[in-house]
Structure 1
């Protein structure tokens, strides 16, 4: 596939600057690899001869995902996790989705072609929003492909529960925000990492950043990965180049121009069909896709950020951004085992090409001003953006019957395909938002927010077969909460929030869906946050209930008609603990229990409308837990051990079968050879557990998780 994007003058100027100032970075890429950026916003760490044990700082570090007010998690009436970039790289997480799934109550819910997540009983990129540096890309086809490489991440911030009041529709389950490494006014430092592991996996990366002079600073990160994959014909590769240049005009005014360019060819693996309801070990390494399968994604994010603090009471921020994506699929994605013949039926021959171009501007102002003698902080702002989307889809080729034990992959069909989709859309969004913290006393604060979104959507069928679609969506969402500080190290909170979810992604609205409104939701949540043992440990506990309404359900009289009266809900409890009792030992534990169900939902089975009320939505585990222990057992040595548990998941709306629970153990060993140089060994899936990472469809087709594997890396700072 050929990718082409025209960049503006500012981007070309930035590229020329980058090429003229960092040739060494580009030359080093072939042998480079990376680790932790030196950033002034990082939490303090205790250094033991080159090995790092971080003191937990989640509750006391300001974050931007749970609030725009600059509040810490302790001051926010919501559940917020922060995973520092150094932590996720020490654990060996190899994708943003892998890293986020170690947060409380978060699990993966899709294959490599999208990286979707599930939270609080809701799954997919239209219910759990993905953000990059606080900016969202509108979801197309249920897919989000950037960011994907943890090397870019300064940290990952996870907000659980409705986030529409902050970021708009499509976040009833939560929001995952990847915050990239940024320029800082610190001495220039560089880092490289080279890694090699199982499946002929090679990872290289380079990072450099710091102050050029008193006004200019920069950050450059490059990473390249490739692997042969753990099943047949499942090779993957990726390349990311990210750069940022910051100008501090005065101590109170600065501008940052940044550009990220990511290319991926993920593994073209869509899972395996169960044989008589189980995983057949003989097919563990089989890939039933065609021999010329393709997945190719390119994402480009360009941003110009400005921040001005004219006084201690006023902060103005503006972000002008452009997001461009090219995506290509050519695969056979559906496989089902037929017991009567002992063969598999392969179908779902899909060829998709589409481009997205999203341009927008976000502005907000934060004002700190007492009201009637009470401290008050107010943020108000607006966000406007336009997304153009062009899509082509070819499918409908005849299904094939194949011998799974003497498998010949064949090629993507060149005949029998029809142009199923050929359309263009334009989506214009205008948003106004406000958030406020009003301190009634030194220990009691009210935190509220309000957001209004107006979405103008137009779709044109390029085939001139289907009628054009035009729809205006409007929605107002809000949040009101209270935080009470029991002590300086302990607080309790309660909140009520509303949210909106699209029926299938706003930019994919069909003619039928245009007759309906957005789905709506509401959540109530209470929680407790606690620092203990001299701030060496942090503990959180939260309980919630979410209701989602206006789902499309089949009419009980006429199965060809829909009604927007359906509902589903979830309720649950979540807990987390981070504790570093000594400078050489740290524990991180979290767990979640929930009850997710359809309250009002019908579907058609054999031309009959069947109620699914009381059933659990597919792909949603109701039990999950994570644990990680880090031990610096010698002055230059550090060991880590982690366990991830995901409970059973239903395969379909009927709850006719389910994927069993799984527990996966990982480990790491790090040796500080000398100051600035660390060798690390990571081991994944120590017990070689065969399990379903995600459930691809309702035909018992499972995407299997990574088998036992190891990776050795060298990391050098200079």
Structure 2
């Protein structure tokens, strides 16, 4: 892997910090050398210290508490897992306007978006999709309905994105063997009221207007309000998209011991009605690369609402009790033709998968936990216990079994209209009742050694009603336990070694839309072993981490070796890999952020039927899994009020099918920006995306013959005003 990804600079409006950098060679030695090299360098009197005055805010803030990797309020240094935090100001400075764009800057996280899954599916550690890489908002998950999650999507109101790589089911339940991505919004703060406004104009008639405000109203009330509206005409024909995201929260400090926060976030999206372009004679054609083969009256709409009431009670220094009561609602609608196949003989494109689908989903729940800090046999101990209960109602409407098709000229294209002979009606509904109990404990044997363990037990009962044929009604109950046990050795306060074992669970598809064919089967289960090292460099020069892991996922559906007509839950898939992340001040004005992930993903036991015969795919790489990924960012303050940034994103090749007969090549995309702090309240920025104007697929379908293309070279100019 010789290319890395990038993203623009980051910064917070905090006070400047001092950093001491004893030369670039020493800094690189600190980043990559063993800890003994640090001690040797510290004693090297020949190196002249350099004073650095800069707004340094390490993305790898491994000494600051997070809420995603542990409910005990541990820092990444204290947690036996891979945790990465992307700061909201950094995300916006880089120009990442979607959660997917932002999250895929993290180590080993790549995108697998498609309009049909909400456009937000991701891959991590060899596993892909909403059923293996969970997405949360403020620590709460919306269960994927028929493989779709459509919120959150906008980054304007994001305080940070926390990424937990690897088995995360012990924290959040089934569906997180590859990891969990938690979008944490801005919260009310106890300071003076501050306002911020953003205006952006860019290529393809892109425009965004956003506003944010927050602060204390009086000695007991504080608030936060954010709104963002974004539109674009898109780089393809009929590529219009529009979104509106609104977030509001008010906090009541009843006393120093008791606080309540009421929050409501809402999003409306009309994403691009674009499912990619078909390959012409196996290649992208310059004649069709900006075409949109969907219907003229196609439609994609999402409307999501998230309401939460949080309470926190801290009666003393030893006890903290938290509760969140929440209601989540999502309405989604698709009307499309989604597959396009080129016929070399007729030189025509066949459009298939005409479908109209609607989702109405409501999730109501409550999560409570209590943390106790005390001594145990002379050792410091923290223990947390809690429960989570919710009810999910899901209604699926469609015009199934209609699967219309049409044949069109790809070069002289007329989009046509949707006309289905099958009525669009409610087809089935489900009610899922779940409850879970969880516990977490950290036992510190001394200042260097600690043991961190977690347990979770889940119960989910699904009742499905077929609204067209009562004979297809069904019920299914899942019960499963997950856990994590890790040990942390911290030689000093700036570094730690860790090792952990974990158990996870994944659904076969989407838990709340379990079908009759899935009733005989249980959840897939998995286990992970991970070791790693984390280091915070002295004088805030930066930080670096490295982790190695192996994950095995069992109980996958596979064909019976003795009877190919039967499906059994005997398959296995595994991945093993290494990840490294670095944030380093190279000079007083130049900062480097980089990460790289290399993995080996394989089917260990998986059979397919081909031409009526059973064929083993054992040893092959799973479909759509990149085994290499990297990112790089360089930020350079070349003048007192000027900053430039350059970034590169690299995603390795991906297999098209389980037979591994064909793969999509790797891609590398470079971005850049320059910003000017015109005065204390106004910052102007010019950003360029995909500098080399590369044509590449962010995802693909239809046996790899249909590519969903990333955006070509484009530019944006923005003005950010603080007042």
TM-score exceeds 0.5: yes
Normalising by structure 1, we get a TM-score of 0.92
User: Secondary structure of the equivalent of 1:632?
Assistant: strand
- 1:81 equivalent to 2:84? Answer yes
Which of 297, 300, 308 is 2:313 aligned to?
A: 308
For the 8 Å contact 1:56–1:580, the answer to whether it is kept is: no
Provide the rounded CA distance (Å) in 1 between the counterparts of 2:121 and 2:206. Answer: 23
Question: What are the Cα deviations for residues 425-476 of structure 1, in whole angstroms up to 9, with x where unaligned?
Answer: 0000100000000011110000000000000110000002552110110000
| 2:539 paired residue number | 534
Confirm whether residue 563 of structure 1 aligns to residue 575 of structure 2.
Answer: no
Q: In structure 2, the residue corresponding to 1:88 is in which secondary structure?
A: helix
Structure 2 partner of 1:403: 409
CA distance in 2, matches of 1:654, 1:414: 35
Q: Give the conservation status (yes or no) of the 8 Å contact 2:622–2:655.
A: yes
Residue 294 of structure 2 is aligned to residue 289 of structure 1: yes
What is the 5 A alignment of 1:479-628? 479-628=484-633
- Residue 69 of structure 1 is matched in structure 2 by 72
Instruction: Report the alpha carbon displacement of residue 342 of structure 1 after superposing the two structures with TM.
Output: 1.4
Aligned counterpart, 1:348: 353
1:119-158 equivalences under 5 Å are 119-158=124-163
Counterpart in 2 of 1:633? 638
Q: Which residue of 2 aligns with 1:3?
A: none
How far off its partner does 1:580 sit? 2.4
The corresponding residue for 2:104 is: 101
TM-aligned CA deviation for residue 43 of structure 1: 9.8
Query: Are 1:266 and 2:277 matched, yes or no?
Result: no
Secondary structure at the aligned position of 1:150 is classed as coil
2:440 counterpart residue number: 435
Closer/same/farther in 2, CA of residues 555 and 412 from structure 1, 3 Å limit: same
> CA 1:55–1:522 in structure 2 vs 1: closer, same or farther (change >3 Å)?
closer
Q: Is the 8 A contact 2:190 2:215 kept in 1?
A: yes
Task: State whether structure 2 residue 324 is matched by structure 1 residue 324.
Answer: no
1:8-30 CA-partner distances (Å, limit 9, x unpaired): xxxxxxxxxxxxxxxxxxxxxxx
Classify 1:82/1:56 alpha carbon distance in 2 versus 1 (closer, same or farther; 3 Å).
closer
Counterpart Cα distance in 1 of 2:471 and 2:348: 38
Equivalent residue number for residue 414 of structure 1: 420
Give the stretch that moved more between structures: 96-105 or 687-696.
687-696
- SS of residue matched to 1:370: strand
3-state SS of paired residue (1:398): coil
After TM superposition, the runs of 4+ consecutive aligned structure 1 residues lying more than 4 A away are: 35-39, 42-47, 50-53, 418-421
SS at match of 1:534: helix
Give the one of 655, 661, 668 matched to 2:673.
668
Closer/same/farther in 2, CA of residues 708 and 125 from structure 1, 3 Å limit: same
Which position in structure 2 is the counterpart of 1:394?
399
Q: Which of 233, 252, 258 does residue 253 from structure 1 map onto?
A: 258
| Unmatched tracts of structure 1, length 5 or more | 1-34
Q: Secondary structure at the match of 1:614?
A: coil
Who is 1:184 aligned against? 189
Three-state SS of the structure 2 residue aligned to 1:74 is helix
8 A contact 2:133–2:178 mirrored in 1: yes
CA deviation map 1:578-611 (0-9, x unaligned): 0124553221100000000111112222333322
Contact 1:579 1:586 in 2 (8 A): yes
Answer whether contact 1:56 1:579 (CA < 8 A) is retained: no
3-state SS of paired residue (1:172): coil
Q: Deviations along 1:28-70, whole A, 9 cap, x unmatched?
A: xxxxxxx99989xx897789xx995534452011001110010
Aligned alpha-carbon RMSD (Å) = 1.9
Aligned-residue offset at 1:533:
3.9
Q: CA deviation at 1:695?
A: 1.6
SS of residue paired to 2:71: coil
Deviation string 1:310-358 (CA, Å, 9 cap, x unpaired) is 1111000000000000000001001111122211111011100110000
1:43–1:643 Cα change, 3 Å:
farther
Query: 1:643-670: CA deviations, max 9, x gaps?
Result: 0000000111121211110000001111
**1:165 match: secondary structure:** helix
2:123 equivalent among 118, 123, 128: 118
TM (norm. structure 2) is 0.92
**Kept in 1: contact 2:60–2:583 (CA 8 A):** no
CA gap 1:151/1:326 in 2 versus in 1, 3 angstroms: same
Shift of residue 702, structure 1, vs aligned partner: 1.0
Contact 2:11 2:56 in 1 (8 A): no
Q: Kindly tell me: are residues 79 and 44 of structure 1, through their superposed partners in 2, closer, same or farther at Cα, counting changes over 3 Å?
A: farther
SS in 2 for 1:199: coil
Tell me, what secondary structure is at the counterpart of 1:54? coil
| Distance across 2 between alignment mates of 1:200 and 1:36 | 26
1:475 corresponds in structure 2 to 480
Report 1 or 2 for greater relative contact order, CA contacts < 8 Å, sequence distance ≥ 6. Answer: 2
Distance 2:612 2:688 in 1: 50
CA offsets, 1:600-640, max 9 Å, x none?
11222233332211111111100110000111110000111
Q: Indicate how the Cα distance of structure 1 residues 519 and 182 shifts in structure 2: closer, same or farther if over 3 A, else same.
A: same
Q: Secondary structure at the match of 1:492?
A: strand
